[in-house]
Structure 1
């Protein structure tokens, strides 16, 4: 498995738990969030989200006014 080889190459783990944690940190911290994906137009998920929010920030102004409480009689 390529992802496993990328993660553990050159590393020595003292226990299985340490190896599992290292693999989890690699997958969660790098592989899933930073690698480019074809379905996201060859952007990483982080880049895709940044682009999405940047595009919507200019087209949809935020309504930051606090909500007024309803008046009861």
Structure 2
């Protein structure tokens, strides 16, 4: 197991599935797989993502949170927060070799 905040911490996922089970799956019975799929989709897109208050985003609905952030956000020219930053090969100094292999070794 990992520590909080790393890839092995699935607390938010567990919280979501707990909510899904408590608020939808334990209250309804589905006759077919397709009926369950459609009902889960409508639960997510019609209530959970639009109107339900989430504690991790200041007790706002995700839609409200996105609207608030869209108003206060100053977008970069390419709409990405890392626009203009150098990445990959451009970031490395010119004298640094591109591979870790020693070119003097044979067959390596």
TM category (shorter chain) comes to 0.5 to 0.7
Is the CA contact 1:37–1:43 (under 8 Å) kept in the aligned structure 2? yes
Which of structures 1 and 2 has the bigger CA Rg?
A: 2
How high is the TM-score relative to the length of structure 2? Answer: 0.39
Distance 1:35 1:61, change over 3 A: closer
Greater helix fraction, Structure 1 or Structure 2: 1
1:29, distance to aligned residue in structure 2 (A): 2.8
Query: Which blocks of at least 5 consecutive residues in structure 2 are unaligned?
Result: 1-20, 78-108
The count of corresponding residues between Structure 1 and Structure 2 is 57
Question: What's the counterpart of residue 46 of structure 1?
Answer: 63
Query: Which blocks of at least 5 consecutive residues in structure 1 are unaligned?
Result: 64-73
Q: Which has the higher contact order (CA 8 A, sep 6+)?
A: 1
How high is the TM-score relative to the length of structure 1? Answer: 0.53
